[in-house]
Structure 1
Amino acid sequence: MDNKKPNNSYKKTKNSRPGTVRRSSSKHPQGTNKKINPLQQKTAVTPRSIAISSLIKILEEKQFSHIILREQLHQYTNLTERDRAFITRLVEGTIEYTIQLDFILNKYSKTHTKNMHPVIRTILRMAVYQILYMDKVPDSAAINEAVSYVKAQNEDKLFYLSGYVNGVLRSISREKETVFADLAHTGKTPAYIRLSTPLWLYDYLRKLYGKDSAEKMLNWFLEGSKENYVRFKDGHSEVMDGNITKTKLFKSGEITIQDYASQQVGIEAAPDRNSYVVDVCAAPGGKSCHIASLLNGTGHVDSRDLTEDKVKLIQENIDRLKLTNITARAFDARVTDDSLIDENGNGKADIVLADLPCSGLGIIGKKPDIRFSASLQGITELQKLQREILDTVNRYVKPGGKFIYSTCTLSKEENEDNRDYITSLGGFRLVKERKFLPGEPSDGFYLCVFEKER
């Protein structure tokens, strides 16, 4: 935990509304990148306190949810599997429902969530999530733990706000049926609030896919299965629950965690024996390793990514699966690799896979913080990066070879528009295109397969 105090001290003033702690300068904005110290407390570390610390890092400091959760669960080695599952559910669920939770809190609190101290805001969000969506947690436990946590806070004298937190949470608990009735009432609660989705994203998906399909996808992000698909060595896939990485099947290399839609890349690649395959943005290596497995020890997969840290992730999968026909190395996909082009200007690869960095709108169910990190501007910037890579790597495909483009997003700019862009480069024929919407049957995903003209 980070025990370093913030540079700016906060002062509680007589005119502050409950839950508000003011600085000597400007208010602390929601979504700031400023680091916050959430755990200057007198009590022992608990699953809920770990969840609060994680949520502050994710929602206030804008760190990635999957990375923070992994780090936190790795740090506290004495946690039981039940505790780990509880923390994961608290963190992911609170992130998923943040927009809806803030809407509810703003009805019951005199202080708007955007003006709350980040620690108070986080405590209230997490407690309301438990009250509304965790049936096995008694409301009294969620409320009492939240109040106790506030009482234990020394920084900014937040313990003075324990009564305020108690009052807000007990009001919501008493009126839980009214809260749910209001959420279901279209006249009282806009659809984007009910689906806990930023308004821009709701409007974007509605215009692209239609109201019914968009709401079906967004609802699946909230209520769909959280289980993972795994791919077995023999090629079949199953759904598994729990901590898969701790199982003997995973450790032995018998299974690999890979979403159903993602597995289709290797299936569509269908490499012939002795094929030379280049995966230009491969981390963590699921697709590269799948294709290497399909080659049955023949050929070679040249698996690449931008940094050594990402290459390390690929190598870990290679080692676990004991694959001998694949290598991993760092290489910037935007830079031309002349070794992949012959003296006549033709590519040398039988298959080039470009599973490129994207906005990730199709995997919000797995990474709920994408709700807050994605943007229309970000989509435009990513398309520019994707095309910079496509301009480079399409040259590596040999005549008659395959060029596969894929993303885990839902945007037209990153999918169909890039399909058309590849076609415009000349020399490629579209062979197949597949799109998986969230819940059909797993994450949202897009892929298209091209053949290079001979």
Structure 2
Amino acid sequence: MRLHKNLCFAVIDGLHQIFNENEYADKVVQILLKRDKRWGSRDRGFVAETTYEIVRYKRLYSEIANVKAPYDRDNLWRLFAVWATLKGIKLPDWKYFEQTPSRKIKGKFDELIKIRKFRESIPDWMDELGLKELGEKIWTDEIKVQNEQAEVILRVNTLKTNKKDLQLKLQSENIETEFLSNYPSALKLKERTNVFRTEAFKNGWFEVQDASSQLVADFLDVKPGMKVVDVCAGAGGKTLHLASLMENKGQIIAMDIYESKLKKLKVRARRNGVHNVELKVIDSTKPIKKLHAKADRLLIDAPCSGLGVLRRNPDAKWKLTPEFIENIKQTQTEVLDKYSKMVKPGGKMVYATCSILPSENEEQIDKFLTSETGKAFTFVKDKKVLAHKFGYDGFYMALLEKKTIN
């Protein structure tokens, strides 16, 4: 592979924004990819994948390069040189790569990969937490997979088409996909490409949604005609899935504390042909109280650490803190207590997270079921999805049913 200066400069600029200005990697990469209209798909692929790879292995590469935050541009070039050397890429005769100790880099790499926290490039506290909650084997296997690039999975919008027709439509646009067994609405891309430019996407035939995430709406056991509340709806990936499972019949109330996210959901719903969704901003306790004991089904896609989706958000490793995780667990407890009151007797509720930590998942459910509010519910079933076992994002979901009044 031959390195091109303009592409390498884009990577360095992106790393500066992510590491030094604390910006989100996905947003930075999105902007970088629009930097030069002359770039082809291979150029854009290089910029995106290289940026993500260096973000993913920041700790390992920093240790090898002997650099620390805050990273000046010389340090960022040193990180880049480590990445290129370990990939077997010949470094060009640029001033940034003068005196790069290639042999020393490889020797240091061989030494560090024997230690998990360096090999998988994670903070000490995260390694200790994962080990404590999941045990040596599961944590070692899981964090390894969380460093692999996530595959692109589509969810067919059954309000507009079916899986076979979507596959054929994408094929006509030179995009090859394959079915996934045990995931009724999923298609997997055989090669990464920008699916958002396709006619199929513009016509609302699909959404990009990981296979594990697609399990959550199914788990809620919705039926057409029901009153369903999605209380942490965000931009609405699961809301739209619920709408398709309900065949646009009944009512979905999509709620969130962020109005900006619900505005994105409104745009997506229009494209998807979804018209049974009502949007509500949670700006006080009133919207919740109005729905007390009214919902046939409730989805709590709870705020969480996101440790199950590090493959798509590698910069979260460097943004997360132990204090944040402790705070988010308190939020989860409060959300369960407050929002579960919207379920009517005989109704069902799913609590879901994209975390792999038992303290955010099973332990939250156990705690809830022994609380005053939780005593009104019975545990039906749960599902823990680990990336190293299933191949897709780490997720947890628990189904609870509210007891009927005698």
Report the TM-score, using the length of structure 2 for normalisation: 0.85
Q: Distance in 2 between matches of 1:365 and 1:81?
A: 21
Match of 1:84 among 28, 31, 44: 44
Whether the aligned pair in 1 keeps the contact of 2:234 and 2:258 (CA below 8 Å) is: no
Q: Tell whether the 8 Å contact from 1:334 to 1:392 is kept in structure 2 after alignment.
A: no
Q: 1:333 to 1:393 in 2, by over 3 A?
A: farther
Match of 1:418?
364
Which residue of the partner structure matches residue 386 of structure 1?
332
> 1:295: Cα distance to partner?
0.6
Of residues 277, 288, 294, the one that matches 1:337 is 288
| Structure 2 residue aligned with 1:199 | 124
Closer, same or farther in 2 for the Cα pair 1:94/1:331, shift >3 Å?
same
SS across alignment from 2:305: coil
Task: Quote how far apart the aligned CAs of 1:218 are.
Answer: 1.4
The 5-angstrom pairing of residues 302-341 of structure 1 reads 302-332=253-283, 337-341=288-292
Does residue 407 of the first structure (1) align with residue 368 of the second (2)?
Answer: no
Quote the offset at 1:180 in angstroms. Answer: 4.4
What is the aligned partner in structure 1 of residue 172 from structure 2? none
Residues 16 and 71 of structure 2 are in contact (CA less than 8 Å); yes or no, is this contact kept in structure 1?
no
**Equivalent-residue separation in structure 2 for 1:339 and 1:371 (angstroms):** 39
Q: Secondary structure at the match of 1:126?
A: helix
CA distance in 1, matches of 2:320, 2:378: 32
Deviation, 1:427, is 0.5
- Superposition deviation, residue 225 in structure 1: 4.4
Shift of 1:197: 1.3
Alpha-carbon distance, 1:76 to partner: 4.3
The separation in 1 between residues aligned to 2:70 and 2:273, in whole angstroms, is 52
Q: Give 1:430's match in structure 2, choosing from 355, 366, 379.
A: 379
- Identify the match of residue 155 of structure 2 among 231, 238, 242: 231
Counterpart code for 1:59? F
Distance 1:239 1:381, change over 3 A: same
- Post-superposition offset of 1:126: 2.0
**What is the CA–CA distance in structure 1 between the aligned matches of 2:71 and 2:328, rounded to whole Å?**
33
Are residues 1:371 and 2:317 paired? yes
Q: Work out which structure has the larger RCO, using CA pairs closer than 8 Å and 6 or more positions apart in sequence.
A: 2
CA spacing shift, 1:334–1:359, aligned 2, 3 Å? farther
Residue type of the alignment partner of 1:305: D
In the alignment, which of 77, 82, 89 is matched to residue 128 of structure 1? Answer: 82
Q: Which amino acid is 1:265 matched to?
A: V
What is the SS of the residue equivalent to 1:362? coil
Cα distance in 2 for residues equivalent to 1:116 and 1:195: 21
What corresponds to 1:181 in structure 2?
110
- In 1, Cα distance between equivalents of 2:78 and 2:107: 18
Native 8 Å contact 1:280 1:333 kept in 2 = no
> Do the aligned residues in 2 keep the contact of 1:281 with 1:333 (CA within 8 Å)?
no
Using the TM superposition, name which of 435-444 and 396-405 deviates more: 435-444
Contact 1:307–1:330 (CA under 8 A) maintained in structure 2: yes
- Residue 139 in structure 1 maps to residue 90 in structure 2: yes
Task: Please give the alpha-carbon distance, in whole angstroms, between the structure 1 residues aligned to 2:71 and 2:145.
Answer: 32
The secondary structure found in structure 1 opposite 2:33 is: helix
Q: Report if aligned partners of 1:334, 1:388 keep a CA contact under 8 Å in 2.
A: no
| Residue-by-residue CA offset, 1:67-90 (whole Å, 9 max, x unaligned) | 222233245444322221111111
Is the Cα contact below 8 Å between 1:277 and 1:349 reproduced in 2? Answer: yes
User: How many equivalent pairs are there?
Assistant: 370
Indicate the residue corresponding to 1:100 in structure 2.
60
2-structure distance, mates of 1:117, 1:271: 50
2 CA distance for matches of 1:115 and 1:314? 37
The structure-2 alpha-carbon separation of the partners of 1:60 and 1:246, relative to structure 1 and needing over 3 Å to count, comes to same
Structure 1 residue identity aligned to 2:131: R
Q: Deviations over 1:29-73 (max 9, x none)?
A: xxxxxxxxxxxxxxx982222221111111112121112222332
Partner residue in 1 for 2:395 = 445
Paired residue secondary structure (2:125)? helix
Does the 8 Å CA contact 2:18/2:24 hold for their aligned counterparts? yes
What percentage of aligned pairs have identical amino acids?
27
Q: Would the aligned equivalents of 1:270 and 1:294 in 2 still touch at CA under 8 Å?
A: no
Relative to structure 1, is the Cα distance of residues 419 and 335 closer, same or farther in structure 2, using a 3 angstrom cutoff? farther
Taking structure 1 as the reference length, the TM-score comes to: 0.77
Alignment-mate amino acid for residue 352 of structure 1: L
Secondary structure of residue in 2 paired with 1:121: helix
- Supply the distance in 2 between the matched residues of 1:410 and 1:68 (Cα, whole angstroms): 27
- Which residue of 222, 233, 252 maps to 1:282? 233
How far apart are residue 192 of structure 1 and its match?
Answer: 0.9
Alpha-carbon separation, structure 2, partners of 1:75 and 1:414: 40
* Partners of 2:149 and 2:312 within 8 A in 1: no
User: Are the structure 2 counterparts of residues 228 and 350 from structure 1 closer, same or farther at C-alpha, using a change threshold of 3 Å?
Assistant: same
Cα deviation, 1:122-143, whole Å, max 9, x if unaligned, reads 221122112213x5xx3223xx
**Aligned counterpart, 1:18:** none
In 2, are the aligned partners of 1:401 and 1:452 still within 8 Å (CA)? Answer: yes
**Residues 174-207 of structure 1 deviation map (CA, whole Å, 9 limit, x = unaligned):** 44553443245x3xxx221111111111121122
Over residues 105-158 of structure 1, what are the superposed CA-to-partner deviations in whole Å (9 max), with x where a residue is unaligned? 12xxxxxx127752222221122112213x5xx3223xx45x3xxxxxxxxxxx
Deviation at residue 373 of structure 1 after TM alignment: 1.3
2:134 aligned to 209, 221, 224, which one? 209
Q: 1:333 to 1:56 in 2, by over 3 A?
A: farther
